[in-house]
Structure 1
Amino acid sequence: MKICIFGAGAIGGLVGAKLALKGDAEVSLIARGPHLEAMRKNGLILREAETETTVKVAATSDAKELGPQDYVFLALKAHSIPGILDSLKPLIGPDTAVVTGQNGVPWWYFYKQSGAYENQRIEAVDPGGCIWDMIGPERAIGCVVHPAAEIEAPGIIRHVEGDRLPLGEPSGEKTERVSRLAEILVACGIRAPVRPQIRSEIWVKLWGNLSFNPISALTGATLEQICADEAVRAVARAMMVEAQAIAEALGIKFAIDVDKRIAGAAAVGAHKTSMLQDLELGRPLEIDALVTAVQELGRLTQKPTPTIDTVLALIRQRAAIAAQSSR
């Protein structure tokens, strides 16, 4: 069994380290820069609670060294995927499955989705349909990433919390390939339930990312601060209500209500969202998969998105100004 982690950052490094530690698969990681060099020299160091483990991993920046894989786990952010498609090609064989570990609306969302929108492509996350055409939606396995991790230093991954990676076929079937992947992940200590409705899992996480991420980047507030401020919490709630109407128009059923979802975010405490962290580090912001795509789905389903539209306009300008300042 050959598994390649494409993008061995915090989450990719965490998953790759756990898979390599178990040793049941031939695991490789694609990375670059000082992080790659540190892994090559010292191995990948995984820190969890009070433990530290050094894992010898096969790490490279060139997929041509690896050849076709059984599974490719895409651990890059959604906006990075179009730029790595050519690099991805050597990893793709006739039966390769591609696990999509991105936040937000996935590029394959309407594949095997019966109804009026079947095979509809989403421009916000797949401009010109380039990902759909190169990877092929039939290869996609959906994955919702719940663990939190960070790169403490090149070659060192800190696992902060969480161990759940729900998986699901776009068709909802429990195929041999998704079942086998789940078994491999469970064997190395990752909870990987196979969900017949993976899109519902995607929306529950997206519900919070859509709202809390841009608000935090605009205000500099933590989740705790956003939820504690009545007026700001109301903005987040309005965005979530708009998104819920879109999702329900697409056949999604939410297992919890919006106020419980907000309470769950508040309980996380003084946590900076990934978008705020990216802003502070001068990285590109994950706007299109989290916000623009939801706006696009609103247009598609003819559901109004006035609050989403407003916050999207503001966060786009905030990102543009940040990008200019970093030049």
Structure 2
Amino acid sequence: MKICIYGAGAIGGLIGGLLARKGEAEVSLIARGPHLAAIQKNGLTIKGPDETFTLDNITATDDPAELGPQDYVIIALKAHSVAGIVDKVQPLLGPETAVVAAQNGVPWWYFYGIEGETKNRRVKAVDPDGKIWDGIGPERAIGCVIYQAAEVTEPGVITHMAGDRFPVGEPTGERTERVKALSKLLIGAGLKAPVRTDIRSDIWVKLWGNLSFNPISALTGATLDLITGNPETRAVARKMMLEAQAIGESLGVNYPIDVDARIEGAAGVGPHKTSMLVDLESGRPMEIDALVTALQEMGAITGHETPTIDTVVSLLRQKARLLGCY
């Protein structure tokens, strides 16, 4: 079994490192810059909550053509970067290669594998020119939800702070052999990676928090405990989440918890900076389109107004443009 991690940063490097340590698959990494150079020279080091290990001989390169076709390609780039690597990923794609879309937010394949008026509709916010859909193909896609908190603390070193859930699922809801085999590999590597028959609902539960807490944190600089603990910002987040819930339910999404329980779950995380706030502080592009713009698009598709989301994302885009992060 051959698995390539395209984008071996914090999350991709962590997943790749765990899989490689288990040794049940031939794992390779696509990385770049000082991080790649450090991996090639010193191996990949994972510093986990309970242990630290180094993989001395893991294959790492910046040229996918060196690796050839894979059984699985896990693309662990930010959503706005995926379209830019569609041409580069082609050497990794054989006739049966599955592609795991390991991004936050609404995935580019979202409307593939469902029936009704939205069947095979493209999500322009995350795939504006259809390049990903046409270049990778939705039939290759396997969905997942990322719950790991990790960062590249120095080149070649990834610190895993928390999180071991990584549910996976086919867009069609089927329990195919390829998704079951992937689940088995991930579970063997130490992750909680069940096969979900409704991966979209799992995606929405995480998106529920990301679409609200991330923009508010980027606008205010506040951590999760402050956003949820302040009545004013908590109320804004709640309104955004309820607007999104109405859209999701109209698309058949099942929410296993209510909005207040979801907010309390975020409050329990404590003084945590969201990924959007970290990106803003680092001067990197933020995942505005996958986390929020896609919701506006889905609201238009389903006939649901999103006044709170619209206001917050307008302010966020303006701030991002001023800082060169959009």
Same fold by TM-score greater than 0.5:
yes
| Residue matched to 2:105 | 104
Residue 119 of structure 2: SS of its match in structure 1? coil
Between the aligned partners of 1:208 and 1:236, the Cα distance in structure 2 is 8
Shift of residue 17, structure 1, vs aligned partner = 0.5
Between the aligned partners of 1:105 and 1:52, the Cα distance in structure 2 is 33
| Residue matched to 1:130 | 131
| Residue matched to 2:297 | 296
Structure 1 residue runs without a partner (length 5+): none
Between the aligned partners of 2:84 and 2:204, the Cα distance in structure 1 is 25
Between the aligned partners of 1:49 and 1:11, the Cα distance in structure 2 is 15
The amino acid of 1:196's aligned partner reads T
Between the aligned partners of 1:239 and 1:111, the Cα distance in structure 2 is 26
Shift of residue 50, structure 1, vs aligned partner = 4.8
Q: Could you state the TM-score of these two structures normalised by the residue count of structure 2?
A: 0.99
Between the aligned partners of 2:39 and 2:55, the Cα distance in structure 1 is 9
| Residue matched to 1:113 | 114
Between the aligned partners of 2:192 and 2:49, the Cα distance in structure 1 is 18
Between the aligned partners of 1:297 and 1:113, the Cα distance in structure 2 is 15
Shift of residue 108, structure 1, vs aligned partner = 0.4
| Residue matched to 1:36 | 36
| Residue matched to 1:236 | 237
Runs of 4+ in 1 over 4 A off after TM superposition: none
The amino acid of 1:171's aligned partner reads T
The amino acid of 1:167's aligned partner reads V
Q: Could you state the TM-score of these two structures normalised by the residue count of structure 1?
A: 0.98
Residue 312 of structure 1: SS of its match in structure 2? helix
Matches within 5 A, 1:47-86: 47-56=47-56, 57-86=58-87
Residue 36 of structure 1: SS of its match in structure 2? helix
Report the RMSD for the aligned CA atoms in angstroms. 1.0
Matches within 5 A, 1:1-327: 1-56=1-56, 57-323=58-324
Residue 323 of structure 1: SS of its match in structure 2? coil
The amino acid of 1:212's aligned partner reads F
Structure 2 residue runs without a partner (length 5+): none
Shift of residue 184, structure 1, vs aligned partner = 0.6
The amino acid of 1:136's aligned partner reads G
Shift of residue 305, structure 1, vs aligned partner = 0.2
The amino acid of 1:48's aligned partner reads G
The alignment of Structure 1 onto Structure 2 pairs a total of residues equal to 325
Between the aligned partners of 1:112 and 1:187, the Cα distance in structure 2 is 28
Between the aligned partners of 1:115 and 1:291, the Cα distance in structure 2 is 24
Shift of residue 48, structure 1, vs aligned partner = 1.1
Shift of residue 114, structure 1, vs aligned partner = 1.1
Between the aligned partners of 2:253 and 2:89, the Cα distance in structure 1 is 32
Percent identity (aligned): 64
Shift of residue 51, structure 1, vs aligned partner = 2.4
Between the aligned partners of 2:49 and 2:195, the Cα distance in structure 1 is 27
Between the aligned partners of 2:291 and 2:212, the Cα distance in structure 1 is 9
The amino acid of 1:131's aligned partner reads I
